[in-house]
Chain A
Amino acid sequence: MPAPIRLRELIRTIRTARTQAEEREMIQKECAAIRSSFREEDNTYRCRNVAKLLYMHMLGYPAHFGQLECLKLIASQKFTDKRIGYLGAMLLLDERQDVHLLMTNCIKNDLNHSTQYVQGLALCTLGCMGSSEMCRDLAGEVEKLLKTSNSYLRKKAALCAVHVIRKVPELMEMFLPATKNLLSEKNHGVLHTSVVLLTEMCERSPDMLSHFRKNEKLVPQLVRILKNLIMSGYSPEHDVSGISDPFLQVRILRLLRILGKGDDDSSEAMNDILAQVATNTETSKNVGNAILYETVLTIMDIKSESGLRVLAINILGRFLLNNDKNIRYVALTSLLKTVQTDHNAVQRHRSTIVDCLKDLDVSIKRRAMELSFALVNGNNIRGMMKELLYFLDSCDPDFKADCASGIFLAAEKYAPSKRWHIDTIMRVLTTAGSYVRDDSVPNLIQLITNSVEMHAYTVQRLYKALLDDISQQPLVQVASWCIGEYGDLLVSGQCEEEEPIQVSEDEVLDVLEGLLVSNLSTPVTRGYSLTAIMKLSTRFSSLNRIKKVVSIYGSSIDVELQQRAVEYNALFKKYDHMRPALLERMPIMEKTATNGPSETVQTNGETDSTILDTKHLPSISQPASQANDLLDLLGGNDVVPIIQTTVPTKPASAGGELLDLLGDLSLTGGPTPTPASSVPMSQPPFLLDGLTSQPLFNDIAAVIPPMTAYNKNGLIIEFTFERSNPNPNIAVITIHATNSTEADMTEFVFQAAVPKTFQLQLLSPSSNVVPAFNQGSVTQVIRVLNPQKQQLRMRIKLTYTHKGSPVQDLAEVNNFPPQSWQ
C-alpha cells in the first residue's frame, strides 16, 4: 500500500476543487483511504492520517471514525503522535462522547511524564475539555503539579485547577493549601494564572472569599504586585505599548473588585492604588484604556470614597469623547450600570450621551438610547424628550418599538403638563405609529379620558392627524375612539388651547366611514370606527346617516363587524329608549396596574353565590355598567377598563371590598336613588340580558317588613330587607342606626356574625358617626347567603365612643321575619 499522501498535499489538492461537489468527491476518496489505513493499524502514518482528518473536519465533514485513533496516538510514545493525538482529542472528543473516558489513563501517565512538554499537553487537554469524571480522577495529579517549582507546569496546572473547580466545585478545598505562596512567584505566567485561580475560588465560595480576605491578607499582596508593575521600569518581555503586563494588571484589578465588594477594610486598602492607576495610566492606546475601564468597574463596585467615584465617572465621561468607537461603547455600557447609584454624577454627562444618539454605530445608538431613558427626570424632561423624539424619527425600525415605549413611560412619569403629554403622544403616534405596542392604545385612551379639560383639544388634534394619514393603526384607533366620545366637542368648536377648527357633522362622519372602507384599516380599526359612529348617534343630529351606515354593515363579511352592526341596529329599533344612556360619555377610568390588562367586570345574570366571593362587584351606576357591558360584547382590543364610579374612601370595614360600589350608596338618610339617572329595567331578551343592576331599591323590598334588631342605651338599629332579584338565596339587609341620646356616637363600628351554614358579607357603612337626637342615621348593607334556607340568626357587636368613653356591646338577633330567609 503506497504511503498516504501528505497533509500539505491534501490541502493543496482540496483547494484546487472548483465546486462543492468536486471537493466532496476528493474528500470522500481520501476518507476511504484513511479508513482502510486505520483498519490496517498502521502506526507509522496514523499521525498523518489523523491530521488530514482534522483538516477535513474543519471543512465541515464528519470525522467521528477518527476518535479512537486519537486515543491510540495519545498512547503512543512519540511526541509528534501525542501532539496530534491531543489536538484531535480536543477537537473531536468532548465529554459527550463515550470514548473520552478512555483518555483518562493516558492523561494520568502523561501528567507524570519526564518531559515537561508532554506534561503540558496533558494539562492543556484536561484543562480545556476534561469532563467531571476525568477531573475527579485526576484532580490529585493536578494539585501535585500546582506545587512544583517548574513555572511552565505550574501556570498550566493553575488553569487546569480552574477548570476542575468549574466542573466539580466540591474539589475546591483540595487546592487551597497549594495556593498559599502562589503570589510570591516572580514568573508573570504563574502570577497571572494564580490570580485567575484565586478569582475563581472567591467567586464561587463566600467562605473562600472571607478566608482570603482575612487569613491570607490577599489584598495587600495584590496591591504590592500591582504597584510594582506600575512603578517598575521598562520590561521588554511584558511590555505592551509602554505598559507593563496589562493582562496581569487587569486580572489583579478584577480580583480586587471581588475582594473589595461589600467590605470596608479591603476597599480602603485599595483606594490608593486605584487612584494611582486611574491617574497614571497612559490613555493614548487601547491597552491603557482597557486598564482604566477595569479600574472604573472596580471603583464602582467596591465601597470607594466619593472622590474616587467621581474620578471614575469622569474617566467614563472622557471615554465618551474619545474618537475610538469601542471606548465610547464601553463607556455607555458602564454608565448604564452606574446610573442607578450615581445618578447625579452621570447627569453631568447628559449632553454627551444625548449626542451619542446621533452616532452612526448601531450598538452605540442602542446603548445611548437606554442610558438616555435612565437619565430622564422631572427637570430635563422637555429637553430630553425633544432629543428622543428626534431620535425616534430617524432611527432604525428595530429601535422604534423600544423607543416609543420608553417615551410613553417617561412622559407618563414626568409630564410637566397634560397638554405637553398629549402633544408628545400625538407626536409618537404620528411618527412611529405602526411600531407602538398593542397595549399602548388602551393606556392612551385611559390617559385621554382622565385629562378632562383637554378633551376638546385632543379630539381636534387627533381629527387633524386622521385627515393627514390613516395608515398608522394605533393612531387611527385612538383617534376614532376619541371622535366617538368627544365628537360633539369637535363639531361645536370648543377648543381653548388652540384655534378651533370648523368641522361639520357630515365631515366627521365622512372620515369615520372612510376608515371603515379603507384597505389600510385592520378589522380592529374598523370595529373602533363603527362603534365611534354609533356613539355619535347620541351626540350628533344626523341620525339617518348613522342608521344607514350601521344597517349596511349588518351584512358585512367580517363577523365581528356584522355582530356589532346588528346589535346597534337593534338598539335603534327596539331599544331606542336605552340608547342615550348606553352611549353616554365614559366616566373617568381608574388604572389598577400600569401595564397589566385590567379585569373586566363580569356582569352576568347569575348573581349567585359567586357574588359574595368575587372581589369585583357589578357596578351600580347603571349607564356605566351598561356601557361596560357594551364593551363586553365588543370584546377584542377594545378598551376594557374596570369601570367604577369614583368611590370616596371609606374606612375599611369587615367585608368591605375594593369595588365597594354598593357601599357607596348607603348615604345618610336611608335609601336614596342612585346618583346616575336610573333607566327602567324591563326584562330584556338579548342585548341587555347580561345586565343586572342590584335592584336594591325597587318595590320588591316592601314585601319583607323591617325589624328592630337592637335597642339599647339610645342606640336603635333597624334592619330593612330586600331580596336579591335573580338569586332568592341572598337576602340584602340594610341596617339603619339612629341615636336618640344627646351626644354623638363616634367611631361607630357594626359587626355581625352568622351561623356556619350562612355566608355573610358586610359592605362599607355610610359613616361612623351616629348623630345625636336622631338627626341622621348610619346605614350599612349586609348580604346574607342562605342556601339551605335555615332560620336566619345573627350575633352583632357594636363598638362606639359615647361622651368620651368607649362602649362595646354584643347582642343576638333572632327575630328575623320568616320571609327574609324562606
Chain B
Amino acid sequence: MMHFLLLFSRQGKLRLQKWFLPLPERERKKIVKDMTTMVLARKPRTCNFLHWKDLKIVYKRYASLYFCCALENQDNELMALETLHRYVELLDKYFGNVCELDIIFNFEKAYFILDELLMGGEIQETSKLSIVKSIEASDMLQETEQKRRSEHPSSSEIIQNTTCF
C-alpha cells in the first residue's frame, strides 16, 4: 500500500499531496519537508529508491517536477515507478503535453485524475482508456450542470472553462 504521494518542484514547492494514512497536520508538514530535502539532495545518476524509517521511498523526476511516493516493505518498487509513469501519462493525455504550470493552475483536476487511478494507496484501474473516459464523463456532467444553470451560456466559456470557479 502506498502511504503518500507528493509532487514538488525543483525548488521544493509542493504541487500536490495525497495522503492515504491519517496523520496530523504537523507530521504531514514534517514529512513533506523531509522528503523534499532527501530527494532534492540525490545526485543525478543514482537509483530511484531510498530508505526512510521503515518505508521505501520511490521518486522520479519528470521535467521540473519530482514525483515521490512511499511504499511498504512488501510492495514492488519497480512497479511503483510504473505507477508514477502511468499517472504522468494520464496527466499528459488530459492536458495535452502537460507541464508544471498545468498542474499548478489546475491542481483540482490533477487530484481528480489521481483519484481515478489510486484509491486507499492501491491501483484501482489499469486501463488508461477507462480512466480518461471516466474523467471526461465527469467533466461533461459538470458542464451540463453549468449549462443548465447559467442563463446566457457562451459557447467559448463552456469549452474553455469547465469550472465555474
Enumerate chain A interface residues (CB-CB to B < 8 A): 6-8, 11-12, 15, 45, 47-48, 51-52, 54-55, 58-60, 78-80, 83-84, 87, 91, 94-96, 115, 117, 120, 123-124, 127-129, 131, 152, 155-156, 159-160, 162-163, 166, 188-189, 192-193, 196, 237-238, 240, 245-248, 250, 254, 286-287, 289-290, 293-294, 297, 325-330, 360-364
Query: Once the chains bind, are A246 and B82 in contact (CB under 8 Å)?
Result: yes
Interface size bucket, B side? 35 or more
Sampled A-B contacts (29; CB under 8 Å):
A11-B104, A51-B165, A52-B165, A55-B107, A60-B14, A79-B142, A79-B145, A83-B112, A83-B138, A84-B165, A87-B108, A117-B134, A127-B119, A128-B115, A128-B119, A155-B125, A156-B119, A159-B119, A166-B120, A189-B125, A192-B123, A246-B79, A286-B78, A290-B76, A290-B81, A294-B76, A325-B46, A329-B47, A330-B77
B63-93 with Cβ < 8 A to chain A: 74, 76-79, 81-83
Residues of chain A within 8 A of B45, CB atoms compared: 325, 360-361
B111 interface hit (Cβ, 8 Å)? yes
B37 to chain A, nearest CB (A): 15
Interface contact B124-A189, CB-CB below 8 Å: yes
Chain B binding surface SS class: mixed
> Which residues 118-165 of B have a CB within 8 angstroms of A?
119-120, 122-130, 134, 137-138, 141-142, 145-146, 163-165
Contact among B48, B49, B50, B165 with A47 in the assembled complex (CB-CB below 8 Å): B165
Among B20, B79, B126, B146, the residue within 8 A (CB) of A192 is B126
Closest beta carbon of chain A to B46's beta carbon, Å = 5
Do A290 and B79 touch across chains, with their CB atoms under 8 A apart? yes
B residues near A (Cβ < 8 Å) are 14-17, 19-20, 22-24, 29, 45-51, 74, 76-79, 81-83, 104-105, 107-108, 111-112, 115, 119-120, 122-130, 134, 137-138, 141-142, 145-146, 163-165
In the bound complex, do residue A160 and residue B120 qualify as a contact, i.e. CB atoms below 8 Å apart?
yes
Determine if B120 and A127 form an interchain contact, defined as CB atoms under 8 angstroms apart: yes
In Å, the complex CA distance between A7 and B130 comes to 29
A48 CB contact (under 8 Å) in B124, B141, B164: B164
Q: Report whether A6 and B165 are in contact in the complex, using a CB–CB cutoff of 8 Å.
A: yes
Name the A residues within 8 Å of B137 (CB-CB).
117
CB < 8 Å neighbour of A238 from B16, B82, B126: B126
Q: What's the least CB distance linking A587 to chain B, in Å?
A: 46
**A159 and B122 contact, CB distance less than 8 A:** yes
A289 to B145, CA, bound (A): 46
Instruction: List the B residue with the shortest CB-CB distance to A117.
Output: B138
Residues of chain B lying within 8 A (CB to CB) of residue A54: 107-108
Assess whether B49 is in contact with A326, with CB atoms less than 8 Å apart: yes
The A interface, classified by DSSP as helix, strand, loop or mixed, is helix
Contacts A6-B165, A156-B124; A250 near B79 (Cβ below 8 A): yes
Which residues of A are found within 8 Å of B48, using beta-carbon distances?
325-326
**Contacts A159-B124, A326-B47 given; does A250 touch B76 at CB 8 Å:** yes
Closest to A86 in B: B115
A96–B22 contact, CB under 8 A? yes
Question: Is the pair B47, A328 in contact by a Cβ cutoff of 8 Å?
Answer: yes
Complex contact A124–B81 (CB within 8 A): no
Contacts of B20 in A (CB 8 A): 128
Q: Which residues of B contact A12 (CB under 8 A)?
A: 105
- How far apart are the CA atoms of A59 and B138 in the complex, in Å? 27
Residues of B within 8 A of A47 (CB): 164-165
Q: B14 contacts which of A7, A58, A254 (Cβ < 8 Å)?
A: A58
Partner among B17, B81, B115, B124 whose Cβ is within 8 Å of the Cβ of A326: B81
Complex Cα distance, B96 from A249, in Å, reads 29
Output the least CB separation between A15 and chain B (Å).
8
Choice from B24, B119, B123, B129 contacting A247 with Cβ under 8 Å: B123
What residue of chain A has the Cβ atom nearest to residue B74's Cβ? Answer: A254
Please name 15 further chain A to chain B contacts, defined as beta carbons within 8 Å, in addition to the given A188-B127, A192-B125, A330-B49, sorted by A numbering: A11-B104, A47-B164, A48-B165, A51-B108, A58-B16, A80-B142, A94-B19, A96-B22, A117-B138, A117-B141, A159-B120, A237-B127, A297-B76, A326-B78, A330-B78
Interchain CA distance A363-B104 in the complex, whole Å: 33
Q: Is the CB of A129 within 8 A of B22?
A: yes
Q: Are A193 and B122 in contact (CB under 8 A)?
A: yes
Which among B14, B79, B128 has the greatest number of chain A C-beta atoms within 10 A? B79
Determine the distance from Cα of A124 to Cα of B46 in the docked complex, in whole angstroms. Answer: 35
Most chain A CB neighbours (cut-off 10 Å) among B17, B104, B122, B130:
B122
- Nearest A residue to B29 via CB reads A60
**Given A189-B124, A247-B123, A364-B47, CB of A95 within 8 Å of CB of B22:** yes
Cβ-defined contact, B78 with A290, below 8 A = yes
Are A287 and B82 in touch, CB under 8 angstroms? yes
B49 — which chain A residues lie within 8 A by C-beta? 326, 329-330, 363
Q: Given A48-B164, A51-B165, A289-B78, A237–B130 Cβ distance below 8 Å?
A: yes
Q: How far is the CB of A218 from chain B (nearest CB, A)?
A: 19
Which residues of the partner chain A approach B29 to less than 8 Å between Cβ atoms? 60
Chain B residues whose C-beta falls within 8 Å of the C-beta of A163 in the assembled complex: 119-120
Contacts of B16 in A (CB 8 A): 58
Cα distance, A247 to B87, chains bound together (Å): 13
Min distance, Cβ B95 to any Cβ of chain A, angstroms:
14
Task: Give A197's nearest chain B residue, CB to CB.
Answer: B122
Q: Provide the bound-state CA to CA distance between A129 and B122, in Å.
A: 13
Alpha-carbon separation in the docked complex, A115 to B140 (Å) = 13
Instruction: Chain A residues near B127: list those with CB within 8 A.
Output: 188-189, 237-238
Given A159-B124, A237-B127, A286-B82: A152 and B165 interface contact (C-beta under 8 Å):
no
Distance (Å) between the CB of B109 and the closest chain A CB? 10
Cα A542 to Cα B60 with chains together (Å): 70
Say which residue of A58, A128, A363 sits within 8 Å of B47 (CB atoms): A363
Look across to chain A and name the residue whose beta carbon is closest to the beta carbon of B122: A196
Q: Report the separation of the CA atoms of residues A189 and B126 in the bound assembly, to the nearest whole angstrom.
A: 6
Residues of chain B contacted by A254 (CB below 8 angstroms): 74, 76
A128 and B141 form a contact (CB under 8 A): no
Measured between beta carbons, the chain A residues less than 8 angstroms from B22 are: 94-96, 129, 131
Inter-chain CA distance A361–B50, complex, in Å, is: 11
A83 CA / B16 CA spacing, docked (Å): 17
Shortest Cβ distance from residue B155 to the other chain A in the assembled complex, whole angstroms: 19
User: Contact: B146 with A80, CB < 8 Å?
Assistant: yes
Which A residues touch B82, using CB under 8 A? Answer: 240, 246-247, 286-287, 290
In Å, the complex CA distance between A117 and B142 comes to 11
Whose C-beta in chain A lies nearest to the C-beta of B17? A58
